[in-house]
């Protein structure tokens, strides 16, 4: 799961939440501590050193899923600014990003 996570994208989502400045730094530090601990336990330099299939799958997935995630962050911000409309093209676009991300993540396990 650590290898599938992108803290830069997570930070963009986090900025949408109240308390981002209070919570994100601690989450980012804990993520990095955990990543280093897992690498130390595995005696590895890369989280997916022993799983070539998953490493390649993630590398191929990210160019498609990451832009959809960034679009979703933008759409969420706009949807909130518009008062969370339910019958709006913005809402339907937001739902499409949820489906796109879900499909991309599902394909990589």
Q: Could you state, in order of their start, the residue ranges of all structural domains in the chain? A: 7-106
Give pLDDT, residue 6: 94
Give pLDDT, residue 52: 93
**Structure-block tokens of residue 14:** 């986090």
Whether the per-residue pLDDT at 107 is higher than 70: the answer is no
Q: What does the pLDDT look like over 1-29, one tens digit per residue?
A: 899 899 999 999 999 999 999 999 999 99
Q: What does the pLDDT look like over 34-79, one tens digit per residue?
A: 999 999 999 999 999 999 999 999 999 999 999 999 999 999 999 9
């Amino acid at each position: 799961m650590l290898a599938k996570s992108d803290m830069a994208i997570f930070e963009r989502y986090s900025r949408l939440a109240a308390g981002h400045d209070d919570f994100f730094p601690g989450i980012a530090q804990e993520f990095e501590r955990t990543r280093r601990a897992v690498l130390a336990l595995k005696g590895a330099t890369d989280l997916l050193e022993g799983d070539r299939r998953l490493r390649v799958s993630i590398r191929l997935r990210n160019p498609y899923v990451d832009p959809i995630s960034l679009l979703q962050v933008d759409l969420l911000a706009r949807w909130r600014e518009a008062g969370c409309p339910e019958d709006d093209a913005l809402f339907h676009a937001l739902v499409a990003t949820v489906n796109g991300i879900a499909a991309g993540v599902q394909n990589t396990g």
